[in-house]
Amino acid sequence: MSTNVPTSRRIMYMHCHVNEVFLRTMVGYAEFHVMCSGS
């Protein structure tokens, strides 16, 4: 049971971290796209 808790915590951390990176990349791409095609 004590080995299950750190594992699930690590998975949740990685999941949130991946989502954060993905969102940052998408936002950066959207801003870059708007900058290039807007002006």
Name the pTM for this structure.
0.38
Please name the helix (run of DSSP H) or strand (run of DSSP E) that holds residue 13, with its range, or none.
helix 4-38
Specify the DSSP class assigned to residue 39.
Answer: -
pLDDT digits (tens, 9 = 90+) for 4-37: 667 887 777 777 677 788 888 888 888 877 766 6
Map out the domains of the chain as residue ranges: 1-39
Of 27, 8, 5, nearest in space to 16 by CA: 8
- Burial track 10-30 (b if 16+ CB lie within 10 A, e otherwise): eeeeeeeeeeeeeeeeeeeee
